[in-house]
Each structure stands twice: as C-alpha cells, then as structure tokens.
C-alpha cells in the first residue's frame, strides 16, 4: 500500500508550508490517474499518519485531505490531437483508437486551509 508513504510525504510538505503557529484544517491535493491511489486507502493513511503526530503539533489529527482527481491527458498518435478524459480507453475525434496517455502522474499539494492563532497584546505604554 503506497498510500501510507504518500501520506507521510504530503504531511511533510504541509508542515514545511504551514505558517508558524497555524492549525492546518485541510490539505488540498491534485492527483493524476497514474498515481493509482485508492481514495479510501488514502483517507485511512492520512488519518493514521496525522493521528501519530504529537498532539501539541498544531492538531494534525483534525485535519482533512481533500483530493481533486485529475483526468487522463490523452494524445492521438494519428492526428496529434490532445485532450483529457475520465477514461483511458477513449477514441479520438478523428476516429482513431491509437490513443496513448500523455502524462497523468501529477501529485501536488495545491493549498492549505489554516486557522491562524493571533495573540493580541496590550500596549506597553500609552502615548495619549
């Protein structure tokens, strides 16, 4: 199950880009079909990795993983047309079945939803 190693890597990226003192509520991810990620296994792995973190480390256990599943980028070998499809076995507009994937291995952390903890200090000296 490669989802567990992916979840660990995603957590490290999120940790690196999290603003200091912020609590991460959600990590938004884009995943291409060549990653062969099982959605349920990925959610389980994310929860397992986050729950194993130190509770003092900004509440990872409450964070969510939001995955946008990208379509197949396809290329026709006959007419050079390029398009995306939810199906790998797709036919080109020209009628050709000589279609090949033209990528699809993307895996990117796109954004983090965070709650910033702001501390408001009283003025040390009043200049009024």
How far is residue 29 CA from its own chain's centroid?
Answer: 1
> Which phi and psi (to 5°) does residue 70 adopt?
-80, 150
In sequence order, which residues have a C-beta less than 8 Å from that of residue 49 and are 6 or more positions away? 4, 7, 8, 11
Is residue 113 within 8 Å of residue 26, measured between CB atoms?
yes
pLDDT in tens, 16-42: 999 888 899 999 999 999 999 999 999
Q: What 3-state class would DSSP assign to 73?
A: strand
Residue 81 reports pLDDT greater than 80 = yes
pLDDT at 126: 46
Residue 123 lies in a domain: no
Number of compact structural domains in the chain:
1
Query: How does the average pLDDT of the chain come out, rounded?
Result: 89
Spatial separation of the C-alpha atoms in residues 44 and 84, rounded to whole Å: 29
Mean pLDDT calculated for residue range 95-109: 95
- Residue 103, Cα to own-chain centre: how many angstroms? 17
Look at residue 111 and tell me if it is in a domain: yes
Give domain status of residue 33, yes or no. Answer: yes
Identify whether 61 is part of a domain: yes
| Range(s) of the domain holding residue 23 | 3-115
Cα 59–chain centre separation: 18
For residue 107, the domain's CATH number is: 3.30.2320.50
Separation between Cα atoms, residue 24 and residue 43, nearest integer Å: 16
Q: Does 122 map to a domain?
A: no
């Amino acid at each position: 199950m490669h989802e567990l190693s992916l979840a660990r890597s995603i957590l490290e990226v999120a940790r690196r880009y999290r603003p200091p003192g912020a609590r991460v509520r959600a990590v938004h991810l884009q995943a291409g079909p060549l990653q062969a990620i099982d959605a349920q296994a990925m959610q389980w792995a994310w929860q397992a990795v986050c729950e194993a973190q130190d509770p003092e480390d900004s509440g990872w256990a409450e964070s969510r993983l939001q995955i946008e599943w990208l379509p197949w980028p396809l290329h026709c070998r006959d007419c050079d047309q390029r398009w995306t499809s939810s199906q790998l076995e797709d036919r080109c507009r020209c009628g050709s079945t000589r279609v090949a994937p033209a990528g699809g291995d993307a895996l990117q952390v796109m954004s983090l939803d965070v709650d910033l903890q702001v501390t408001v200090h009283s003025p040390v000296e009043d200049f009024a």
